[in-house]
Chain A
Amino acid sequence: MTSHKDEPIITEADWSLHQKGEQDQRRHMEKVKEAIKQNLPDIVSEEEIMTTDGNNIVKIPIRSLDEYKIRYNANQQQHIGQGDGDSQVGDVVARDADATADGEMGENAGDQPGEDVYETEISLTDIEEALFEELALPNLQQKDESELTITDIEFNDVRKKGLTGNIDKKRTILSALRRNSRDGKPTIAPIHDDDLRFKTWNDVIQYESKAVVLALMDTSGSMGPFEKKLSRSFFFWMTRFLRTKYDHVEIVYIAHHTRAKVVTEDEFFHKGESGGTICSSAYRTALSLIEEKYHPHIYNIYPFHFSDGDNLSSDNKNCLTLVHELMKVSAIFGYGEINAYRRYSTLMSAYRQIDHPKFLHYILRRKQDVYHALTHFFKDRAID
């Protein structure tokens, strides 16, 4: 016979207060957010993001969240597996993505040998939160017809009349107490109608000026896949940034090769073109739009032009003139050039002569530069 204390004991406790895993997971998520910030240049240029429809969760490699150990180089490591009896040397047992690391013993399904970055799932909102915090429309001026926007309400006033739901109990009791003590009885009851106090709110109003962004993109034959990807990525984030942060910013998309035309957002992001390059065509289209629809007294105007700089040489002079004309009516003029190999760029060599505070340019050489271009152009700055 076993002693009594050796009898097995079965219990079922209430574990609802045991939330350690959740707590440490929250700290982990904080670290993920920190890591997003640190890795923004890489994350912003992830192609996968552009192909999501906006609300999706994206899987993004974040290096800084790995738990680093001294470990073997997974690409060289030999692993052991078991077949069902007829395996042969040379048989493929797994493709890169679906083998499990041994030593892990299948506990971490989905980890493959060679995986050296921690892939975390983050929502687009998390990325935007981190990215857009840094961005602002530069040189935004108060225009004649500003839009009123109620951005928030603040409970910052107390009145004698109001909605019952907004009753301020503390102040009501205090005033009743005060009045009762004046009558010689320092008690809360009775509370008279006159004692009631209500919290009321005021609207927080911000004046937001109207603005229009003119997105000009080179779609000529010389724009290769890399150039197109970077331009679209820039305009993708620009669009999302403006829509998130500003209520009254219009965006007009202009695609050009030798001729320019206003296109829809969908065409702008998804349609390819070809042919030679005459950039002045885009500037002309922009100027005529401004004249017809976006008067500079009412609108802050932001033309952004992205190109590989491979312009028809004879057109450069026109471009210079038109850029100056655009700058007269615009808040700034932004020129982004995608030039990975430091090619000679006809357009940029002409633009180098421009010495004007409104002329901003950025040359993108690597995909991470999409982020740098965004922070370069959308920096809160005032220009006289």
Chain B
Amino acid sequence: MSLNKQLHYAIDQITEIAKGYGLDFYPMRYEICPPEIIYTFGAYGMPTRFTHWSFGKQYHKMKLHYDIGLSKIYELVINSNPCYAFLLNSNSLIQNKLIIAHVLAHSDFFKNNYYFSQTRQDMVESMAQTSERIARYEQKYGKEKVEATLDAVISIQEHIDPSIIFTQQSVTKQEQGPIKRVDNYEDLSEDNQQIIPQSTEPKIDIDNNKDLLLCIAEHSRFLDDWQRDIVMMLREEMLYFWPQLKTKIMNEGWASYWHQTIMRDLPLTSDETVEFAKLHASVVQPSTTSLNPYYLGLKLFEDIEATYNHPTGEMIRQGIKPGSGRAKIFEIRELESDISFIRNYATKKFMTKEDMYIFQKQNEHYVISDQDYEHVKQQLVQQLVNGGFPTILIKDIDYLRNGELYLYHQYEGTELDVIYLEKVLTYLYTLWGRSIHIETVIEEKSVAFTFDGNKQIKRAIYR
């Protein structure tokens, strides 16, 4: 059998097994690619995306790591319907088998997890359109201007509020039918109406909102229309990526759980078993200095399954039936995100067994500072909040009645990086056109950083 035929056969076989286990995925499109392409897609997150030097930098770095053998991406899967999976052309057949099982579970997760229920399934086309549109702006307004705008928007692109989609959806669905597609990008104000209710509706409260991008697109008196358009398009892309940020541990854990389960069902020769074990081990290897989401997710799913397969007397009294482990993890993959996954299911026994700890920098070294499971769990949850980014709230868009923007950092014990903060303020200024203020906490005192277009000012706040 030729390699290609073997691959076809393997895909059919694995697809059948996966369906047999109840995995419910989008129709699959597999594309076999050379490394340059896998790494391009990896850096951009999408086959076609707008042009920016930071993607080039990322691509170069990933490609370099591949070339010198430091790291390797075997596959890339896109949340879309149909679901695209890109396989590296140098993968062996057995590697591809593992990968196919892995991506089928990803596809199942995209299709069934609640947090993905509002992501657009046509994002491949939409991002390609955004890319064309930004290229047209480059021709019209000059590459430098467009790049400067992108630099500024990218610096704050994670500051969106994905919950708006969920709350908004109930309104639009009742009154306007299904959400209108935005892919024709006609008039910007029209797009906004889908997201922002009209004046008769209660306006989204700017106060304490964390959607910086929306706020700028809506309220900046400084931006040209094409720049507003860029802000909104990048916001749309971030809304698409956001659920992936929120479910990284679960999604990778789910995919690893299923490639492991399905591979055990396949008839493998002893050589193939060794090759599979090697790749599997390299993917789910725990790290002393970071969290491997593949490993943590897999172990937690396994732990939950075992617990529900053999419930304690107390659990049985609550109505949990022995052998209900598989059903439980299917339920979890539908309802939870990383935060609730950890908060609800990482037990003391689990955390201790997995030997998880907090470490931090002490002079030249990183040293384990805490092993108390409650603290570790709390820290873990905290660093998952808001996708790992500091939460910045909008306090006033007309500060000092001078149209200045006043932001507020929700301080939870970790200070901001001041050098980075000041640089981002200069970016924000290019989008807002007036002074930008941000309140945060440094050395346990409230301080406000201000950039007025010329200089950075830091002042203490007394209340």
**Min C-beta distance of B2 to chain A, whole Å:** 13
Does B187 belong to the interface (CB within 8 Å)? Answer: no
Does A51 belong to the interface (CB within 8 Å)? Answer: no
Does B164 belong to the interface (CB within 8 Å)? Answer: no
Does B415 belong to the interface (CB within 8 Å)? Answer: yes
Task: Give the segment of B27-35, B303-311, B317-325 that binds chain A.
Answer: B27-35
Query: Among A22, A70, A114, which residue has its beta carbon within 8 angstroms of that of B390?
Result: A70
Most buried by B among A75, A107, A110, A114: A107
Tell me the nearest residue of chain B to A114, going by C-beta. Answer: B361
Q: Are B356 and A82 in contact (CB under 8 A)?
A: yes
Please give the number of chain B residues whose Cβ is less than 8 angstroms from any Cβ of chain A in the complex: 88
Q: Are A79 and B289 in contact (CB under 8 A)?
A: yes
Tell me the nearest residue of chain A to B12, going by C-beta. Answer: A8
Does A83 belong to the interface (CB within 8 Å)? Answer: yes
**Min C-beta distance of A109 to chain B, whole Å:** 5
**Within the assembled complex, what's the spacing in Å between the Cα atoms of A229 and B191?**
61
- B314: chain A residues within 8 A (beta carbon): none
- A100: chain B residues within 8 A (beta carbon): 287, 289-290
Q: Are B32 and A25 in contact (CB under 8 A)?
A: no
Query: Among A15, A68, A81, A88, which residue has its beta carbon within 8 angstroms of that of B423?
Result: A68
- B376: chain A residues within 8 A (beta carbon): 80
Task: Give the segment of B198-206, B226-234, B365-373 that binds chain A.
Answer: B365-373
**Within the assembled complex, what's the spacing in Å between the Cα atoms of A73 and B154?**
20
Does B457 belong to the interface (CB within 8 Å)? Answer: no
- A25: chain B residues within 8 A (beta carbon): 53, 56-57, 59-60
- B140: chain A residues within 8 A (beta carbon): none
**Min C-beta distance of B263 to chain A, whole Å:** 18
**Min C-beta distance of A66 to chain B, whole Å:** 8
Q: Are B358 and A78 in contact (CB under 8 A)?
A: yes
- A21: chain B residues within 8 A (beta carbon): 36, 39-40, 43-44, 55-56, 59-60, 63
Interface string of B5-33 (1 = CB under 8 A from A): 00110011001000000000001111111
Chain A interface, >50% SS class? loop
Q: Are B290 and A102 in contact (CB under 8 A)?
A: yes
Q: Are A20 and B368 in contact (CB under 8 A)?
A: no
Interface string of A95-111 (1 = CB under 8 A from B): 11011111111111110
Does A182 belong to the interface (CB within 8 Å)? Answer: no
Does B188 belong to the interface (CB within 8 Å)? Answer: no
- A107: chain B residues within 8 A (beta carbon): 71
Does A155 belong to the interface (CB within 8 Å)? Answer: no
- A95: chain B residues within 8 A (beta carbon): 364-366
Tell me the nearest residue of chain A to B368, going by C-beta. Answer: A91
Q: Are B368 and A8 in contact (CB under 8 A)?
A: no
Query: Among A28, A69, A94, A110, which residue has its beta carbon within 8 angstroms of that of B155?
Result: A69
Q: Are A9 and B357 in contact (CB under 8 A)?
A: no
Does B288 belong to the interface (CB within 8 Å)? Answer: yes
- A98: chain B residues within 8 A (beta carbon): 289
Q: Which of A1-37 contact B (CB under 8 A)?
A: 5-13, 15, 18, 20-28, 30-31
- A151: chain B residues within 8 A (beta carbon): none
**Min C-beta distance of B124 to chain A, whole Å:** 14
Chain B interface, >50% SS class? mixed
Does A157 belong to the interface (CB within 8 Å)? Answer: no
Q: Are A10 and B30 in contact (CB under 8 A)?
A: yes
Q: Are A94 and B389 in contact (CB under 8 A)?
A: no
- A91: chain B residues within 8 A (beta carbon): 367-368
Q: Are A27 and B8 in contact (CB under 8 A)?
A: no
Does B281 belong to the interface (CB within 8 Å)? Answer: no
Once A20-B51, A21-B60, A68-B420 are accepted as A-B contacts, the answer to whether A10 and B11 lie under 8 Å apart by CB is yes
Query: Among A5, A11, A87, which residue has its beta carbon within 8 angstroms of that of B355?
Result: A87
**Within the assembled complex, what's the spacing in Å between the Cα atoms of A93 and B355?**
13
Most buried by A among B63, B156, B289, B392: B289
- B142: chain A residues within 8 A (beta carbon): none
Interface string of B51-68 (1 = CB under 8 A from A): 111111101110101000
**Within the assembled complex, what's the spacing in Å between the Cα atoms of A56 and B364?**
28
**Within the assembled complex, what's the spacing in Å between the Cα atoms of A341 and B9?**
77
Once A25-B56, A116-B420 are accepted as A-B contacts, the answer to whether A93 and B414 lie under 8 Å apart by CB is no
**Within the assembled complex, what's the spacing in Å between the Cα atoms of A6 and B16?**
13
Once A68-B423, A80-B356, A96-B364 are accepted as A-B contacts, the answer to whether A24 and B59 lie under 8 Å apart by CB is yes
**Min C-beta distance of A162 to chain B, whole Å:** 43
Does B70 belong to the interface (CB within 8 Å)? Answer: yes
Does B456 belong to the interface (CB within 8 Å)? Answer: no
**Within the assembled complex, what's the spacing in Å between the Cα atoms of A85 and B351?**
11
Q: Are B60 and A28 in contact (CB under 8 A)?
A: yes
- B30: chain A residues within 8 A (beta carbon): 8-11
Does A67 belong to the interface (CB within 8 Å)? Answer: yes
**Within the assembled complex, what's the spacing in Å between the Cα atoms of A340 and B344?**
60
Q: Which of B252-289 contact A (CB under 8 A)?
A: 286-289
**Min C-beta distance of B75 to chain A, whole Å:** 13
**Within the assembled complex, what's the spacing in Å between the Cα atoms of A98 and B293?**
19
Most buried by B among A21, A90, A101: A21
Q: Are B29 and A8 in contact (CB under 8 A)?
A: yes
**Within the assembled complex, what's the spacing in Å between the Cα atoms of A74 and B156?**
18
Tell me the nearest residue of chain A to B419, going by C-beta. Answer: A116
A-B complex: 8 closest residue pairs judged by Cβ atoms: A24-B56, A21-B59, A25-B56, A21-B40, A83-B355, A68-B423, A28-B56, A102-B290
> 18 extra interchain contacts, Cβ-Cβ under 8 A, other than A94-B288, A102-B290, A102-B383?
A10-B31, A12-B33, A12-B89, A21-B43, A21-B63, A27-B56, A67-B154, A67-B155, A68-B155, A68-B423, A69-B420, A70-B156, A71-B416, A77-B414, A80-B290, A87-B355, A87-B371, A93-B359
Please list the residues of chain B having a beta carbon within 8 angstroms of any beta carbon in chain A.
4, 7-8, 11-12, 15, 27-34, 36-37, 39-40, 43-44, 48, 51-57, 59-61, 63, 65, 70-71, 89, 154-156, 158-159, 248, 286-293, 295-296, 354-361, 364-371, 376, 379-380, 383, 388-390, 392, 409, 414-421, 423-424, 427
In the assembled complex, 5 residue pairs joining A and B whose CB atoms fall closer than 8 Å, in A order, are: A70-B392, A72-B416, A84-B286, A89-B357, A107-B71
